[in-house]
Structure 1
Amino acid sequence: MSAIIGLAEIHLRIPEAHSLKEKRGVVKRIIERLKNKFNVSVSEIGDQDKWQSAVVGVVTIGTSQKVVDATLEKVVLFIEELYPGKVVTYYKEII
């Protein structure tokens, strides 16, 4: 049995942030909630120097492609439900 790796690149819009410090606070809350709820690895991977946007990378691993894909979909839905309008676009890949 081989491991299945899933990754998602999620582009976020953070219109309420008026400084990098405010943006980091929002992104940090999102990252911590995702880690706690889904037991995934999460990191800010892009747009670190922009106030109102962020790119977050999420990685999970499992033995079933179906479960890995479902986890990534749940992560995106969770962000959309928790922070409506924040997800601009996302990209998933299963390896």
Structure 2
Amino acid sequence: MHVVVCSITLFMPGVGSLKGKRHIIKSITQRIRSRANASVAETDFQDSWQRAEIGVAMVSSDKVMLDRQVNLIRGIVDDCGEAETVEFLVEYV
């Protein structure tokens, strides 16, 4: 069994309220859930307007499949024009 955990830190320069931030984060997390079949949650900076951290976890018997899913998640996050990726950490357990 292989487990991968991703920690993604985002910066959203155009956001002026928590409501705007939540809209962007909800969109990203829903896309990750539906396309990568992963567990996703906002894990830090809940009270900050322009920063967010998203945690993603997946389990599989095939490490190659997890690598593909991590690349898919990276693409989903990079495709979001409203948020810039500050840090994308990947840890295999």
Q: Which residue of 1 aligns with 2:86?
A: 88
Q: Deviations over 1:16-72 (max 9, x none)?
A: 210111101110111111101111110000111110010000111100122212211
Amino acid at match of 1:87: T
Structure 2 stretches lacking a partner, 5+ long: none
Identify the residue that residue 12 of structure 2 maps to in structure 1.
14
Q: Distance in 1 between matches of 2:25 and 2:17?
A: 12
Q: TM-score, normalised by structure 1?
A: 0.89
The alignment-based identity, stated in percent, is 27
Contact 2:4 2:59 (C-alpha < 8 Å) held by counterparts: yes
Aligned length: 93
Give ranges in structure 1 of 5+ residues lacking alignment: none
**Which TM-score applies when normalising by structure 2?**
0.91
